[in-house]
Structure 1
Amino acid sequence: MNRLKLNIARKKPGFVPPLVMVGVLVVLLPVFILMTLDRVKKQDEFIRERFLITGTSLIRTFEAGTRIGMLSMQWGTKRIQSMLEATAGQPDVAYIIITDAMGKIIAHSDAVMVGKIYDRWAELGPLPGDPQRIFSRALNTREGPVLEVVKRFVPFHSMFRGRRRGPVHGPDPGCGNMPPGSFGTERSVRSAFGAFGQTDHYIFAGLSMAGVQADQARGYKNIVIKALLFFVFCCSGIIALFALQAYRGAQSSLEQVKAFSDNVVQNMPSGLITLDTDFNVTSTNRAAEKILGEIPEKACPRMAAMAAEISGAGGVASGEIALNQKGKGDLRLDMTVSAIPADEDQIQGFVLLFRDLTQIRDLKKQVETNQRLAAIGKLAAGVAHEIRNPLSSIKGFATYFARQYENEPEDVEIARIMVREVERMDRSITQLLEFAKPMAVQIKQTRIESFIRHSLKLVSHDLGKKKIHVETDIRTKRETIHTDPERICQVLVNLYMNALNAMDSHGILEVGVADVSDNLEIRVADNGCGIPAKDLEKIFDPYFTTRAKGTGLGLSIAHRIVENLNGDIRVESRPTKGSVFYITLPDNEKIE
């Protein structure tokens, strides 16, 4: 029990061990770091995708404008340069460049750069030949970070898709103010575009990302804050679950300890009573109720006096006290009183432990009885044969004198009295020998109703002479029991004869059989004269009898037989009201 209390003290309700919290952090921290990095990566991809779409739209819009200008208004390189410079003035556009296949700048948002070689051309690698394919890369320039979108520049390619190559007669609706027949062939168009008549041109749109860096930083901050909050929330939730589990475990352990303590207290053999500081009874156990009977609300004066002795000095007080119980006489108890401590030298109550010294007296009496029986056994073994031989001679001579003086009635009567007394002495010696020698029992399966009927049949003649009415009540659910039927019949016959001698004519003998727990209980009751209270404790002692012709060994032998069968026999009796004997027998298949 102390070990259980120690474990409960270590497991406080809601307490989570540090290792559990470290384990939660070790498991969750990498997960949330990966989740945060994934969110950041997705945000970067979203921004890049957004700028890529913006750059692609810008290129395609410029490409469409260039196409329309070339076809309808005969734009040349200067007009395209002007349009490029105007377009580059839009927000977030760092530069727009058109180069040929060798990296020479044909048009640039900064006119100074026209005719030069694009300085980052060597870093490009193979460029896409498909006009529909878009290529992008991130750069760090003097103006700041830039997302550069690259596409093959083909402003005139779509004009000839699905057209015939012969001369065109009449104006072309898509050529605006162009002279009729000016763009009759693809070759003539390329020639008219001058510098843009080359086969491969590339357009570069640089989108400045400096403006979104602050937004991106705020986005990173929000992602980190949300991740931390979510991380703290999850950690708190998991730790709360562990704390709840620990609390439930501690509560369950406390309930187990309480149940264990209550079970120990209720089933301990000694009586236990707790008192408050005013000596009021606050709790008891079953042993206390069994010893004291009805428990008063306030402790008796002797108990309160013992508790008062330690209320000031502390420690433990013990001693033997006597209580006067109504109808039961004095009850002597061996009692120990100790204080229930509270905070700092305060007492919140008292614990009283006690045991009934009556049991000790009974044990002492039983030891004395066993010692007497041992002495009787030794005496009986040494004297029985020495007495029986002279008794046989006396009986023989008395029989002889009865025949010799058969004409003298007085002498014959004296001789017969001598024979009867010798026979009575022989029976006493026989009972003494049977009582003193070790008793052997033969256990076998026996029908209950059969040995009850048989035992009554053995005394039916004596019962009939006094016109005793017999009532039987067999209520057991079992049909058989493992016991020694001969010995049990002997016990029952002794009880029947005692009841017969205690009753007048027309008395009532009751024999009942019932199940009590796992045992069989046989009840023999009569309405005779009863047994005085002062003799109840002596009736099973050897040679104790209240009848002039009794040997005093019948009930002693019955008691010994029942004990050898692992049973119990007890009596309840009131003068003039009759007596009831209870025999409790276990169903033993084997008695060792």
Structure 2
Amino acid sequence: MFRSSSSRNPTLPRRMPAWLVLSPWFVVACALLLAAVVLILDFRDGRKETEITTRIYLERGASLIQAFEATLQTGMGFRWTDEELQGVLDGLGTGPDVYYVAVTNEQGHVLAASRPGMSGTDLLSPEEMKSLRPVRKIKGDVRVFQPEDGEAVPVFQVYQLLSARQYAERLHGHMMMGRGRMARGEDGGRPLNAQRLVAFVGYDMTSLFAAQRQDARRAYVHWAVLAFLGLVGLLTLFLVKGYQRSRRLVQETSAFSFALIDTLPLGIVATDEVLRVTTFNPEAERITGLAARTVLGRTLADALPGLWGVVRESGLLKEDTPAREHEVRCVFGQERRIPLALNAVPVTTDEGRRAGWTLTLRDLGEIRRLQAEVRRQDRLAALGSMAAGVAHEIRNPLGAIKGLARFFREVSPPDSEEARVADIMTQEVLRLDGVVGDLLELARPDRLNLTPTSLRDLVDKARRLVQSDMDKHGVTFTCDMPVPCPVISLDADRMTQVLLNLFLNAVQAMPDGGLLSVRGRMVSASPGDDGDGGVRNGDEFVLDIMDEGEGIAADKLQEIFSPYYTTKPKGTGLGLSLVHKIMEAHDGCIEVKSEPGRGAMFSLRLPVPVERTTEARDGGQS
């Protein structure tokens, strides 16, 4: 993915879906709630299944006992043989899951049973029989039946007290056919027809318990899968949160890197492992004169052949080439030959794989221009010092020439040619003396006589000095100063010289009349200042001087403060140089804005100390 350098604020990837930014603890709470619901449902299903099974066993047991009672009642007028009674019990015991059908006395002794070997045994102990409390209502419980010749079997035992005494008598008559102890009524000390009989139906629960165990195993597997999925989901959520944090960190780092690359004063050209351009910052656009969209995605040799040729010839992409800047001259476009400080740095991954290159381009043209400007300023300073010395030497003969010119003017007739020549000599000597004075002023060391001075008074004084010139050219004057106007420590004479020079330049720029405006304003060093009048370190007072003249061309704005530069036929080119020098001596500066045909504005910026005083609020217009 290639990134265009025209985007000052890099576009970050889309935001993640809302479901991915949920809190992990919220999801955990939902999972626990779901698990609780599933657990409750499983518990309810188990209880419901147990209740249904119990009801079915009770209903089936009640049916068998009722059938047994009905059979006995039907045969009330007959004597039952052993085979007939056993046949009845055997017939009842053939039902599904019926393990046994038995009739016991109150002590739990089995009188008759469908299962072989049970008759004559104790199904339950007397204590257990008392705890059962059999009545005419069907009851049931779960017991473990232990046969003498086999393993223990879980049974659901349905029991009910037989209702009629004659049933016992019928069984008694049946038992009197020679059954030993039972026939003689020796069980419990009471005859059989005097005891209450209880019918038992036992259902084999082996298959039911096996099914329940299978259901339990399925439930355990279900819970294990659910727990595993919950754990995986929880881990996934934490991984997603970690991914989000890493992604946000990468986004912030990328945004910072892109912003840094965009604002660096170095041209950055980054490539991948096949030298395809992936990054091209604004400074690289300025140096090469090429737009990023025409370079990104293309190979270095195709997009920047001039740069590629220099890189290849200098061997910057070789492994053994040290990482240092190389001064080269590179051709971009048709005729743009630019001196550059070029460096190439390999981009290597943590695994040691070469992922590309980063080329840095530093424009040496601007540096060399500044170096040339410094050398020129040094030459001008030396020339100014020499000119000041020459001017000092010239002043003596100029005084003599001026004296001779006055002498010739006095001895010559008033209207003679000699008098006219003497006047011209005097005027030129005075002009040269002014130039010499400006030269000496420009070369003189900065010695200021600082006193607290009202800027309003200085502006008014300078206005009075040029009032006659303004009246002559039809120039009107306005002044807008803040209330209160600051009182600043400065050299009043030097600052009057600055204002006078700028006022005269403005008047001369409007020979046919116009408006000369002066405006004062405070500029706070703190952004968002509420304008409460308090002075802070770094605050400045700005004095704007505006005219409606012809203006200054853009190519001349940088030269107007140079010595001897002038656009006036009779100008010396030293006035604005002196203004610039005086402003720097006051730790201030002068700025100019102008467009041809729209006048010019010179702004004097003076620092305002915190301990300054202000004049009284006496109005701001003059």
- Per the TM superposition, whether the score is higher than 0.5 is yes
Distance 1:467 1:253 in 2: 68
CA deviations 1:22-42 (Å, max 9, x no partner) are xx99x989x979978994x77
Match of 2:254 among 240, 254, 258: 258
Alignment of 1:129-528 (within 5 A): 131-132=136-137, 134-139=139-144, 141=146, 142=150, 144-156=152-164, 195=192, 197-198=194-195, 200-274=196-270, 283-290=279-286, 295=291, 298-299=303-304, 301=306, 304-306=309-311, 309-310=314-315, 313-314=318-319, 315=321, 316=323, 318-321=325-328, 332-338=339-345, 351-359=359-367, 362=370, 365=373, 424=434, 428=438, 431-432=441-442, 436-437=446-447, 459=466, 461-463=468-470, 465-466=472-473, 494-498=501-505, 505-506=511-512, 526-527=549-550
Provide closer, same or farther for how the CA distance between residues 60 and 333 of structure 1 changes in structure 2, counting only shifts above 3 A.
same
Q: Conserved in 1, the CA contact under 8 Å of 2:145 and 2:153?
A: yes
Aligned-residue RMSD, C-alpha: 6.4
Q: For residues 462 and 308 of structure 2, what CA distance do their matches in structure 1 show? A: 52
Q: Please state how far the C-alpha of 1:265 moved relative to its aligned partner.
A: 0.7
Structure with more of its chain in helix, by fraction:
1
Residues in 2 aligned to 1:35 and 1:123: alpha-carbon distance in whole angstroms: 39
Aligned equivalent of 1:554, options 567, 576, 588: 576
d(CA) in 2 for partners of 1:335, 1:466:
58
Please, which runs of 5 or more residues in structure 2 have no aligned partner?
Answer: 1-15, 17-23, 168-190, 296-302, 529-539, 612-622
Indicate the SS of the match to 1:101.
coil
| Residue type of the alignment partner of 2:574 | G
Question: Between the two proteins, what is the percent identity of the paired residues?
Answer: 16
Deviations 1:71-111 (CA, angstroms, capped at 9, x unpaired): 45417886665433321221211112332222222332236
TM-score by length of 2: 0.58
| Distance in structure 1 (CA, Å) of the matches to 2:287 and 2:601 | 22
The DSSP-based 3-state class of the residue aligned with 1:313 is coil
Q: State the TM-score, normalized to the length of structure 1.
A: 0.60
Q: 1:111 to 1:220 in 2, by over 3 A?
A: closer
Deviation for aligned residue 1:45:
5.2
Relative to structure 1, is the Cα distance of residues 479 and 125 closer, same or farther in structure 2, using a 3 angstrom cutoff? farther
- 8 A contact 2:269–2:359 mirrored in 1: yes
Distance apart, 1:264 and its partner CA: 0.6
Q: Where do 5+ consecutive residues of structure 1 fail to align?
A: 1-12, 14-20, 160-193, 381-385
The one-letter amino acid of 1:229's match is: V
Name the residue aligned to 2:619.
none
Q: Which amino acid aligns with 2:98?
A: V
Contact 2:107 2:129 in 1 (8 A): no
Change (3 A) 1:445 1:454: closer
- Residues 215-242 of structure 1 show CA distances to partners (whole Å, capped at 9, x for unaligned) of 3344234323333433343334334433
Distance 1:33 1:258 in 2: 45
1:208–1:458 Cα change, 3 Å: farther
Q: 1:313, CA displacement in angstroms?
A: 1.8
Query: Which sits farther off after the overlay, 128-137 or 81-90?
Result: 128-137
What SS does structure 1 have at the residue aligned with 2:157? strand
Partner of 1:109: 114
SS in 2 for 1:126: helix
What is the alpha-carbon distance in structure 2 between the residues aligned to residue 496 and residue 307 of structure 1? 60
Q: Counterpart amino acid of 1:558?
A: H
Query: Is the aligned partner of 1:569 residue 2:596?
Result: no
Equivalence for 1:166: none
Code of the residue aligned with 1:88 in structure 2: it is G
**1:99 aligned residue:** 104
Q: Do the aligned partners of 1:66 and 1:80 also contact (CA within 8 Å) in 2?
A: no
Aligned-residue offset at 1:262: 0.9
- Tell me if the contact between 2:551 and 2:599 (Cα under 8 Å) persists in the aligned partners: no
Q: Take 2:440 and 2:142, find their aligned partners in 1: how far apart are those partners? A: 126
**Aligned partners of 1:557 and 1:331: how far apart in 2?**
36
TM-superposed CA distance for 1:305, in Å, is 1.3
Q: Which sits farther off after the overlay, 94-103 or 144-153?
A: 144-153
Closer, same or farther in 2 for the Cα pair 1:369/1:584, shift >3 Å? same
Question: For the structure 1 residues 529 and 581, does the alpha-carbon distance in structure 2 shift closer, same or farther, using more than 3 Å as the test?
Answer: closer
Give per-residue Cα distances to partners, 1:368-410, cap 9 Å, x unaligned. 9699989999x99xxxxx99xx99xx89x98xx99xx799976
